Amino acid sequence: MNNPDIKPGLVSSPLAILAVAVAYAVLAKASFLLTIPPGNITPIFPAAGLALAAVVILGPKALTGVWIGSFVANILFFLDGSMPAVQAGPLNALIGAIIGVGAALGAAAGAFFVRRCCKGEHPLQSGKNVLLLIVVGGFGCGMISPTFGVLSLIWGGMLPWERFGYSWGTWWVGDAVGTLVVAPLVLAWQHRHAFRTHLWSRAEAVVLGSATLLACFFIFFRNIPCGYGLLPLILWAAFRFGMCGASTIGAIIALLATIGASRGSSPFMGATTNESLLFLNSFLGVTITSALFMAGMMEERKQAAERMFKLNRSLRAISECNQALIHASDEMALLNRICRLVTDIGGYRLAWVGFAEHDEKKSVKPVAQAGFEDGCLEALQTTWADAERGQGPIGATIRTGQPRVVHDISANPDGAPGSAEARKRGAVSSLVLPLKTAGRVLGVLNIYSEKSDDFDPEETNLLSALADDLTYGIVALRTRAQQGQAETALRESEERLRLLGDNLPDSYVYQCTQEPNGASRFLCLSAGVEKLHGLAVDDVLRDATLLRRQIAPDLLPALQAAEATSLSNLTDFTMELRMRSAEGQWRWIQVCSRPRHSSAGQIVWDGVATDITARKQADEARQAMEQRLAESEREYRELVMLANSIILRWAPDGRITFLNEFGQRFFGYTAEEICGRHIVGSLVPENETDGRDLRSLIQKISDDPQKFERNINENMRRTGERVWIDWTNKVVADAKGQIKEILSIGSDITERKQAEEQVRRLNEDLRRHAETLEQRVAERTSELAAINDEQRAIFESAGTGIVLLRNRMIVRCNRKLEEVAGYGPGELAGKSTRIWYPDEASFLAGGEMVYARLATGETLRREQQMARKNGTLYWVRLSLRAFDPNDPLKGAVGIVEDITDEREAAENLRQALEAAQAADRIKSAFLATMSHELRTPLNSIIGFTGILIQGLAGPLNPEQHKQMSMVQKSSRHLLALINDVLDISKIEAGQLNLARAPFELTPSIEKMVKLITPLAEQKGIGVEVDIAPEVGAIVADQRRLEQVIMNLLGNAIKFTEKGRVRVACRLENDHYLLSFTDTGIGMKPEEIPGLFQPFHQIDSGLTRKHEGTGLGLSICKKIIDLMGGSIDVASQWGQGSVFTVRLPRQPGETV
Amino acid sequence: MNNRLLIIEDNEQNMYLMRFLLEKSGFTVIGAENGRKGIEMALQCKPLAILLDIQLPEMNGYEVAAELKNHRDLDEAPIIAVTSYAMVGDREQILAAGATGYIEKPINPETFVAEIIDYLPKKQGADHAS
């Protein structure tokens, strides 16, 4: 509750002053009546209370009224003559005036201090305020008036100085209590609408009033001394009826108490007037103060509760409004809902929202309301223009952006027209809140309340916050709506782009960026990429290298460079790339893109790629064609200019239009001289040397050039020299087919013509010579015929075939050849030599070889196969010689011998040899195998018998030993036989390959002797060794030689019973001679020849005794023979034998 | 002292014969019936000498000799060919293939051991002979 505003009830100040004055005077006069005997002291002075209240309510202007009232009252009092000591006179007027001043001042001071102390609140607002009113206003400032009053009375002589204290005291108390009683009463009733929260129960009021009156009657008139029993009534009034009630009851009590006191029946009568006054006033003071204080407290509490309630309500309303804001999706719905919440929950009467339009009229458009009927507000046409109609709070709020409160809309009829409507519906106060955002006022929220004091600063702040939230909500909704629209627009735009991009026939659009590592990445791609590159959009988006790999590798460096330039300079990127699609097709793709900074700060390229293959191909084709054309032109020009022919162009009328350089030089004219001149007279003479008319010829040519396509005529040089030219004439037609020009190309045939003349002359000479020659030839021919006959005779009589060849043709052959080859007489003559080759290949091969040899000059002797007439082949020995080695083909003579029989024989021989060799090989294999196979079992036999005999496997008894020995002997014999047989076989088969190594002969001989010595000693025969000192090394097969020595030694000892055996060796003619002499039985001469035969035994009986195989000597002989030596025997029957072996020191070549 | 001798011989009787004679003379004999096994055993047992038949199944004596010579762990162990191959050139061939000695079959049971000892590295041979 603010400072009490100007009340529209009291219209103007003079009337107010008058009213105050009159009231004051009346009250003052009335109070004079109520004096307490015996001193006629006025116990209470209600006028003071009125004065204070008036100044509080009306302000300083009431002071004048107070003064006038006081003055008048005093004057009347003086005139009354109630105070006998007082005399009438002008002094009284002055005193009255001074008293009046004092009263006024007191009221002024009181009001001032009360205002100050109450800090803008109503003095009766709270208990505290009430006390302040009473104490400060009443008692405190109540001191001023008595001071002025008493002093002036004393000064006026109406009062003695000794009674100053008493008078001042009573005056003061009277004024104070008067203030106490009246001021609250007036203030409360003046402000009664604010206190209107209490339950006005009329009945209750009546009861209370009655009770009070009754009680007062009894207390103050019947003198029942329960004065303080009035306290409960006062408290009842205070609790139930608030300030008004309390002050009213208080006033009633005060009045009745004072009346009672003045009549003398009050319980407050004391011994002295002073006492009575004190009692009364103290009673009144206490009770009324209590009552007022209580009422004030109640008031305060009720105010607080009210405030709380209102706050609660407001907060709930705001909460609901905020909920509405959060869930709002539609602006109009939101605003309507807010208005509804404000009125329903907020408890206000009406609410509406209007937007400030920026049209001509600057109208305020109502957009939402609660409490009004539809169309009502719109009809009002509110405006916020700064004009007469827009001066109301709405206009002001919109213009200034500050809230406006109108506490009583009825008090300001020229406010918003809306207020009139609102008032019709019961609104009393109005609050206009601006809906402002970012410094701009969108509109207003106008709330009407049924109470006049609903919009205190707190409430206004809360509602301002609500208005701000609402504004925020509106802005957010609008923004969201805008965003939604923007998003929709964006989506549509994107869709359009995509459709566009996808439906481009030969292009696609793309957006790409470069990763930090330099690799490209596509941000988006239209579907055209599938058509052009054969790649799926998603694949390329995932991996840009799929696309990059399609680019021809040689273009990559240029591409990277261009990309880098575009990136660093942020310039457009354009390039034509040759790319291979996934299907393998090569295409030309033109790529254009433009870089820009994206919202994320990266650089992205927006671009289009177009298939320009067709265009490129067309370009290339065109270029190629242009090139060809240019080349062709160049070639033509070159040809024309550099030709070694005369190129001439002339018009049908005979004028020359062009002559090439060669022609110019040939004829001796320059281009300027000859062009334009008539052909006859410049290049062509009138007549040829032999008379032909050339002018008419030229005419004929120009009339019908087709007919004269080739034409030879005489021409003329500038010098007049005549030349012969062979012309080719061609028509050059224009577009319509008319003869435009004749193109003539000419070659100079002057020389040729001359040559032809020469030839003719020569031919003549030749004819003459030919005649002479013919004669001579005839003579020669007859000579030759004679020689021929001779030749023929030799030919026919030969015993072998003779043939004459020339150029591989049989010129002549004799009868013998014909017979050999199976042809009839004369069949071979004239035929190609091919005839006697079996096939083409051999013919060619033979020819090549033969003629090459013939060219060397030799006589070719060769055996080859030839074919007879019947196709059979036969072998010939051919001797061929060329007449002239330098040209063998020219003529050759051959002798042909039939060697068929010879060949056959040779063939048979060869086959026999092969068979023999094959047999030999088989034999070798057999021998090798047999030698191995035969020995293997013998190994066991000999071995184990040996072991047994040696007793290694256990002792043998003598019989076992004997029998084992026999087995051993036999097996040894068998081995010897096998060895010997193998040896013989080898020798017979020629398989015995002798080793050849150098070794010392002496140790070998000695070794053999040593081996044979035990046997010799056994027989008692001595062995002598006589080796010549020069005997050293020999190159032979050591083993075999030792075998031979052993054999001979063995034989020597075997066939000797007594005596000695002598071995001697000496060197003679590079041959070693080994002799073995024994003193044995010897041999008869007829036995000697068969000695070296296999299985020969001189005496079977003896041999059995001597354990030989009978092979020994034959083997020895064979071996020695193979070594290139010889073996001889000399023997005497009964004397002994000498075997002599002769060996070369080193074997010869043929061993 | 090493007195092991390895005999590579596929004929059971020949093997028995040689083994008998040599064991009677105090040698320890290990036998292998083909070239492969023979080589393995030679490497494993490091014999004093190796008696090698030429005619063996799968791998012939020449190849075995050559391979044994390659594995030169068997440094001093001489290879003595004991074979009935008596064609000209057989002897030279086997000596060229790496055999130290050559004993012809059928062996002489009285002189066989002495001939073997002859081929052994001298020190041990001498020890053994005595």
- Average pLDDT on A9-26 reads 75
**pLDDT at A870 exceeding the cut of 50:** yes
Measured distance CA(A850)–CA(A860) in Å, rounded: 7
Q: Which of A223-237, A773-787, A808-822 has the highest mean pLDDT?
A: A808-822
Given B24, B55, B109, which is nearest A943 (Cβ)?
Answer: B109
Contact B86 A950 (CB under 8 A): no
pLDDT value, residue A479: 86
- pTM of the predicted model as reported, rounded to 2 decimal places: 0.37
Contact A931 B87 (CB under 8 A): yes
Work out the minimum CA distance from B116 to partner chain A, whole angstroms.
Answer: 15
B60 reaches A (C-beta below 8 A) = no
Question: What stretches of A551-650 show up as alpha helix (H) in DSSP?
Answer: 556-569, 613-642
Cα B113–Cα B118–Cα B124 angle in degrees, nearest 5: 95
pLDDT value, residue A1101: 47
Given A931, A936, A941, which is nearest B11 (Cβ)?
Answer: A936
B35 neighbors B127 (Cβ within 8 angstroms): no
pLDDT tens-digit map of A561-597: 888 888 888 888 888 888 888 888 888 889 898 988 8
Residue-wise DSSP of A38-52: TTTB-S--HHHHHHH
Q: What percent of chain A has pLDDT over 70?
A: 92
Q: Which of A386-390, A401-405, A922-926 has the highest mean pLDDT?
A: A401-405
Sheet strands side by side (includes B4-8): B28-32, B4-8, B49-52, B79-83, B101-104
Which tops the pLDDT comparison, A184 or A420?
A184
**Tokens found for residue A663:** 């022609």
Given A928, A940, A975, which is nearest B13 (Cβ)?
Answer: A940
Contact A947 B20 (CB under 8 A): yes
A1106 neighbors A1052 (Cβ within 8 angstroms): no
Residue whose token pair is 């460079």: A561
pLDDT tens-digit map of A462-472: 888 888 888 88
- Average pLDDT on A376-393 reads 70
Contact A950 B109 (CB under 8 A): yes
Which residues in chain B have Cβ-Cβ distances shorter than 8 Å to A950?
109-110
pLDDT tens-digit map of A506-562: 888 888 888 888 788 888 888 888 888 888 888 888 888 888 888 888 888 888 888
What secondary structure letter does DSSP report for B55? S
The chain A residue lying nearest B15, using CA atoms, is: A940
Given A940, A947, A991, which is nearest B14 (Cβ)?
Answer: A940
Omega cis (within 30) before A38: yes
Kind plus residue range of the DSSP H or E element containing A671: helix A671-674
**pLDDT at A429 exceeding the cut of 50:** yes
Selected for mutation to probe chain B from A926, A940, A972 (highest B CB count within 10 Å) is A940
Average pLDDT, chain A: 82
**pLDDT at A924 exceeding the cut of 90:** no
Contact B17 A992 (CB under 8 A): no
Return the biggest CA–CA distance within chain B.
39
**Tokens found for residue A292:** 């007022």
pLDDT value, residue A622: 92
pLDDT value, residue A580: 87
Least confident interval from A5-19, A168-182, B101-115: A5-19
Work out the minimum CA distance from A938 to partner chain B, whole angstroms.
Answer: 6
**Tokens found for residue B76:** 């001093």
Contact B14 A938 (CB under 8 A): no
B130 reaches A (C-beta below 8 A) = no
- Average pLDDT on A854-864 reads 85
**pLDDT at A329 exceeding the cut of 70:** yes
Selected for mutation to probe chain A from B56, B87, B92, B95 (highest A CB count within 10 Å) is B87
| Angle in degrees, 0-180, between the axes of helices A164-190 and A230-263, rounded to the nearest 10 | 130
**pLDDT at A10 exceeding the cut of 60:** no
Strands (DSSP E) contained in A268-423 are: 350-356, 364-370, 404-406
pLDDT value, residue A1107: 56
pLDDT value, residue A1138: 93
The band of A498, judged by pLDDT with boundaries at 50, 70 and 90, is: confident
B46 reaches A (C-beta below 8 A) = no
pLDDT tens-digit map of A1003-1059: 989 989 988 888 888 888 889 999 999 888 898 888 888 888 988 988 888 888 888
**pLDDT at B26 exceeding the cut of 80:** yes
Contact A932 B92 (CB under 8 A): no
Measured distance CA(A993)–CA(A990) in Å, rounded: 8
Question: Is B26 buried (19+), middle (13-18) or exposed (0-12) by CB count in 10 A?
Answer: exposed
Selected for mutation to probe chain B from A924, A932, A1123 (highest B CB count within 10 Å) is A932
Work out the minimum CA distance from A1024 to partner chain B, whole angstroms.
Answer: 27
Contact A928 B87 (CB under 8 A): yes
Q: What percent of chain A has pLDDT over 90?
A: 5
Q: Which of A379-388, A414-423, A804-813 has the highest mean pLDDT?
A: A804-813
Contact A944 B92 (CB under 8 A): no
The closest of A884, A982, A1001 to A938, measured between CA atoms, is: A982
A1102 neighbors A970 (Cβ within 8 angstroms): no
**pLDDT at B81 exceeding the cut of 80:** yes
**pLDDT at A214 exceeding the cut of 90:** no
Least confident interval from A89-98, A350-359, A775-784: A89-98
A422 neighbors A467 (Cβ within 8 angstroms): no
Given B13, B88, B108, which is nearest A995 (Cβ)?
Answer: B88
Backbone angles phi, psi at A1066, to 5 degrees: -145, 165
pLDDT value, residue A625: 92
Contact B88 A944 (CB under 8 A): no
What secondary structure letter does DSSP report for A221? I
Which tops the pLDDT comparison, A1104 or B120?
B120
Which residues in chain B have Cβ-Cβ distances shorter than 8 Å to A932?
55, 84-86
Contact A943 B17 (CB under 8 A): yes
The band of B30, judged by pLDDT with boundaries at 50, 70 and 90, is: very high
Question: Is A50 buried (19+), middle (13-18) or exposed (0-12) by CB count in 10 A?
Answer: buried
pLDDT value, residue A826: 84
Which residues in chain B have Cβ-Cβ distances shorter than 8 Å to A991?
87-88
**pLDDT at A917 exceeding the cut of 60:** yes
**pLDDT at A1097 exceeding the cut of 60:** no
pLDDT tens-digit map of A313-322: 888 888 888 8
- Average pLDDT on A814-838 reads 86
